[in-house]
Amino acid sequence: MPDAGPDRATARKAIALLTGAAGFTEHRPPPSPLSPDGPLGWAGYDAARERASARTGEEESVLYGTGVVGDRACVLLSFEFGFLGGSLGRQTGDRLAAAYELALARRLPLVALVATGGSRMQEGMIALTQLQRVAAASVRLRAAGLPQIAVVRDPTTGGGWATVGAGADVVLALPGAQVGFAGSRVRPPDADPYAYSADGQFEAGQVDAVVPADELTAAVTHWLRALGPHEDLPAAPVPRALSVAGAPVPRALSAGGTESAAGAGTGAGAGTGAGAAKGSGAGTGPGAGTPSAADSGPAVPLPETGREAVARARDPRRPRAEAYLADYFAVRLPLHGDRSGSTDPGLLCGFGLRGDGQPVAYVAQCGTPTRPAGYRAAARTIRLADRLGVPVLTLVDTPGAANDAEAERAGAGAAIADTFAAVAAARVPVTTLVIGEGGSGGALALAAPDNTHVTVDSYFSVIAPELAAAILKRPPSETGATADQLRLRPQDLVDLGFARSIVG
């Protein structure tokens, strides 16, 4: 097992980094002593444990208890890598299982600070089966609607990564951390070390953000506020429409032809900062809170023809998802990747906090063909929000699902089907705003049945007008007439009963 480097924070220092002056109350499971030299009678094992304890001051490789991060109470568990490489033995499993049960009993979120080399070989299969105990405890916590956040430190490998780390709802990594199932001594000699790094795992969609240590407390605090636990949260408000210049557009036309306050909305986030953390998303903004002066202006006129509706939606000057999310949220917390080795930069997912503190999960298409990884990330986000009782906002804007050969090999059909299923199964309210192109099933997969709204510069169609004309063997000159026949304008979508209101 690798030795603990001098620059690695101890388990207690890692906890103190998050809790600060708020402090930490340590808990211990009931005593359950090992037989001499452990279950295998491994010669020298007791002596190795004694040396590890003398070196670190710890009784085992994990400590746990309750604490406060920011303003949020939680259960914290932290690995001590200096104790036999942070490895998992039977008594480690006792502590991990007890930490999860403590979170369950007190209905608190669990924050795991992971640094481990994997299972402890001196305890053989008894050590390995602790992974099953951890998995079972995690499942019970998940079923109770309680969130799990992992902060992976250097190194996080083996079974600890495959359970406590990668099994968490949100995975944050410290810069430079070694992260991967295969540790440095068991991977192929020619393996690319980048694949086993925090940045490499982020790029592969296995880590949600790489967060510097001095930003970690703020990041974990925001995540705890967003994930809860919560009780009976209201539906996500419909975002206000934005003009081409990015200013709010005032009114919403409901299905009855009258102005709709729900469609107009009020912005709660005003701009977002880049932040130093990779994947930390937009950071925090001051929050809009009240309508701007633009709200007193006239509403944008509706498109007169289907061709005009399509042209507006495809106008490069039209506000995209990034602008809507910046206006809607005061804080954004991205979820990154599909947990299957891929990402889609054209689809943004995560949780956010509005100006009044209300948490909302979001899935937003960015105007590009959505790839299978994007749909898988969307389904992951929606299911997590549903389990935690957080309402969902989806922003629809895509010409359609990616249809290239690579997308097919990556399982486009199955990924889209899974997204449809996630929306259909959601028990929390899902709110949809179509902000641009609504291209067939690739867009519909993210639309909420009976709670979809559209902007004046959007359209939704069973097929793109150009493709419809080609299938019908019509000349290009008849594309506009085909667009009219498809009844894809915002007002058509309201008349057809697909959309509840036109925002702006």
- CA 61/CA 7 separation, integer angstroms: 18
Report the amino acid identity of residue 123.
E
CA 59 → CA 54, 62, 341, 412, distances in Å?
A: 9, 8, 37, 50
Q: For position 280, what pLDDT does the model report? A: 59
Q: For position 259, what pLDDT does the model report? A: 35
**Which tens digits make up the pLDDT trace of 399-454?**
999 999 999 999 999 999 999 999 999 999 999 999 999 999 999 999 999 999 99
- CA 265/CA 124 separation, integer angstroms: 59
% the chain with pLDDT above 70: 88
Question: What is the DSSP code string of 356-386?
Answer: T--EEEEEEE-SSPBPHHHHHHHHHHHHHHH
Flag whether pLDDT at 303 surpasses 50.
Answer: yes
- CA 342, distance to chain mean position in Å, is 14
- CA 390/CA 169 separation, integer angstroms: 14
This prediction's pTM = 0.89
Q: Report residue 264 as tokens.
A: 């107009």
- CA 359/CA 234 separation, integer angstroms: 10
Average pLDDT, rounded, for the chain: 89
Q: For position 300, what pLDDT does the model report? A: 81
Please work out, in degrees rounded to the nearest 5, the angle formed at the alpha carbon of residue 16 by the alpha carbons of 15 and 21: 135
Closest alpha carbon to 361 in 327, 324, 398, 388: 388
Flag whether pLDDT at 285 surpasses 60.
Answer: no
Flag whether pLDDT at 269 surpasses 70.
Answer: no
Contacts of 279 (CB under 8 A, 6+ apart): 202, 207, 208, 209, 210, 334, 336
**Which tens digits make up the pLDDT trace of 96-139?**
999 999 999 999 999 999 999 999 999 999 999 999 999 999 99
**Which tens digits make up the pLDDT trace of 40-87?**
999 999 999 999 999 999 999 999 999 999 999 999 999 999 999 999
Cis peptide before 155 (omega within 30 of 0): yes
pLDDT class of 298 with cuts at 50, 70, 90:
very low
pLDDT class of 254 with cuts at 50, 70, 90:
very low
Question: What is the DSSP code string of 299-315?
Answer: PPPPPSSHHHHHHHHH-
CA 496 → CA 287, 397, 486, 487, 490, distances in Å?
A: 36, 20, 11, 9, 10
- CA 73/CA 75 separation, integer angstroms: 7
Please work out, in degrees rounded to the nearest 5, the angle formed at the alpha carbon of residue 341 by the alpha carbons of 336 and 344: 50
Over residues 204-232, mean pLDDT: 96
pLDDT class of 265 with cuts at 50, 70, 90:
very low
CB 163 within 8 A of CB 133: no
Closest alpha carbon to 344 in 137, 197, 205, 200: 205
pLDDT class of 29 with cuts at 50, 70, 90:
very high
- CA 187/CA 195 separation, integer angstroms: 11
Q: Report residue 89 as tokens.
A: 């033995």
- CA 155/CA 189 separation, integer angstroms: 18
Closest alpha carbon to 349 in 313, 387, 386, 385: 385
- CA 165/CA 238 separation, integer angstroms: 35
CB 266 within 8 A of CB 333: no
Other beta carbons within 10 Å of 76: 30
**Which tens digits make up the pLDDT trace of 360-378?**
999 999 999 999 999 999 9
CA 133 → CA 100, 253, 331, 372, distances in Å?
A: 10, 55, 36, 33
Flag whether pLDDT at 262 surpasses 60.
Answer: no
**Which tens digits make up the pLDDT trace of 408-420?**
999 999 999 999 9
- CA 307/CA 319 separation, integer angstroms: 19
- CA 236/CA 381 separation, integer angstroms: 15
**Which tens digits make up the pLDDT trace of 476-486?**
999 999 999 99
Closest alpha carbon to 450 in 504, 393, 499: 499
